[in-house]
Structure 1
């Protein structure tokens, strides 16, 4: 009977460990999904900021060209 009790104990420990691993897997999947969503959000935010930066650069370059043209017209 000792062998049966040992086997039962081993199976109980194995079942407990499998339950713990499944919980960990679920937590990691949730965390992974959350990180992927955050990454997508940051990539989209970065694209918006790059676009706004390019628009600002273009406006500043336009102003510089107009100022140069005014300066040349005045001389």
Structure 2
């Protein structure tokens, strides 16, 4: 009976260690995913800014072309 309890405790310790390793791995994976998300959000913001700048430049060009057309 004592061996059985010792074996159960050893199995429980092994399982707890496995769960701790899994928790560490998941924590690290979560950290990496959060970093990737932040990077993608920053990239998206930069692309939106570039898009807005391009749109404003195109609108300005169209306005100048219309002005030239009216003066011609």
**TM-score scaled by length of structure 2:** 0.98
Q: Mark the runs of 5 or more structure 1 residues left unpaired by the alignment.
A: none
Q: CA offsets, 1:11-65, max 9 Å, x none?
A: 0000000000000000000000000000000000100000000000000000000
CA distance in 1, matches of 2:9, 2:16: 10
Partner of 1:16: 14
Q: Mark the runs of 5 or more structure 2 residues left unpaired by the alignment.
A: none
Partner of 1:44: 42
CA RMSD of aligned residues (A): 0.4
C-alpha deviation, 1:5, in angstroms: 0.6
Number of aligned residue pairs: give it.
Answer: 72
